[in-house]
Every structure is written in C-alpha cells, then in structure tokens.
Amino acid sequence: MDVCENRRIYFKDDQIQVITRAVETAEEVVGNDYKLSASQWSQLNYDVKTAIDLSPPEIVNDHFAQIVRYAAKKKDALLDTSIRDFYKICLQDHSIVATLDQHADMALYPFLMYIMCHELIHIVRFRRFLQKFDAPLHEKMAEEMRVHEKTHEILSRIGIDGLKPVLGFFADWRCPPDELRVGEKN
C-alpha cells in the first residue's frame, strides 16, 4: 500500500472516542509513573494527531505512530527558553486499523494504550535528555527496547481489560535484536 492510499484510511468517530480516552489515560499513567506535575507535563510540549490532521510526510508505513520534531518559532523561544521544540505524535490510522483487522484478539483501547504510553515515554526521555532525538541507529534500537520494557512494566502494573494479547503482540520488541530489524515498530 503506498502512502497516497493510506491517506484515505481514517479512524471513524466511534474509534476517535476510544482513542481520546486512551490518550488521556496514557497521559495520566505515564505522568504518575514519572511523578510529573501538571506544569512539568505541559512543558513536554507535544500534541497527538490522527491521519486526518497529518501532512503527507507525517504518514509512514510499518509504524503505528511516529514522533516528528518541529523547531520552536523564535518568538516562542524568547517567551520560554525551556521549550525549544515541539513534538507531534502522529498516529498512523492505516497501520493500526490493518493490524487490528489481522488480530481479532486485540481491541483498540488496550492497543492504543500501549502505543500512547510508548510514545509518551519516548517524549519524557527526550525532554529529560535520557535519549537524543537524533541518535545513531544502534542507540535508537537500544532505546526502543528500553521503552518497550518500560511500557510493559507500567501497563502490567495498572492492569486493563484486553491487555494480555497486546503485551504478547509486542513481546518480541523487548528482547535484544539479533539483527537490525526492518520496519521497527514504534
């Protein structure tokens, strides 16, 4: 499927409601785990968008989400020097819908909870300088494993309905890769 075709696949209204709930809960759960205050959370400076609000370069194949970093405008940087840039979490409707179609045991809510917790952990770690956004590939691979491990840990602790098949689906990504994977999942 090429990217042009993917632009025609959007979440439906009832799916958007489930996703909104998953995003809010994931923010709460990750915020609590890292003990972030409301103001620390707002300084993460990110937004979450689905395909309807993405530009063509923000839509990719083989990922459930990607984080795109945008430089802060100069005037914004003067207002608050701690906010240097802005992260856009781009949910990939087509990949998520296709995977759920292929895995009848997985439901949208727990799947989105995993994806959102994962992306938010990435952003917290970028903001805390635990990981560079533009690290070399081998560092990104190691980081990917750490973030999957942390996602697994956080979600296992809170326990939500339908989580088990989702954790099973992502289990391979918590193991050291034998070789560089093509189409690493975010």
Residue 186 interacts with Zn ion (CB under 5 A): yes or no: yes
Which stretch, 1-9, 35-43, 63-71, 137-145, contacts Zn ion (CB under 5 A)? 137-145
Residues within window 144-183 making contact with Zn ion, judged by CB under 5 A: 144
In terms of Cβ atoms closer than 10 Å to its own Cβ (0-12, 13-18, 19+), residue 110 is: buried
Residue placing its CB nearer to Zn ion in the complex, 27 or 144: 144
Q: Segment contacting Zn ion (CB under 5 A): 14-22, 57-65, 109-117, 142-150? A: 142-150
Closest CA to 121 of 143, 136, 138: 143
Q: Strand 85-91's sheet: what is its strand order?
A: 46-49, 85-91, 65-71
> Which of 15/151 has CB closer to Zn ion?
151
- Identify which range of 75-83, 89-97, 141-149, 155-163 contacts Zn ion by CB under 5 A: 141-149
Among 133, 123, 115, which Cα is nearest to 44's?
123
Contact 87, 58 (CB under 8 A): no
CB closer to Zn ion, 17 vs 171: 171
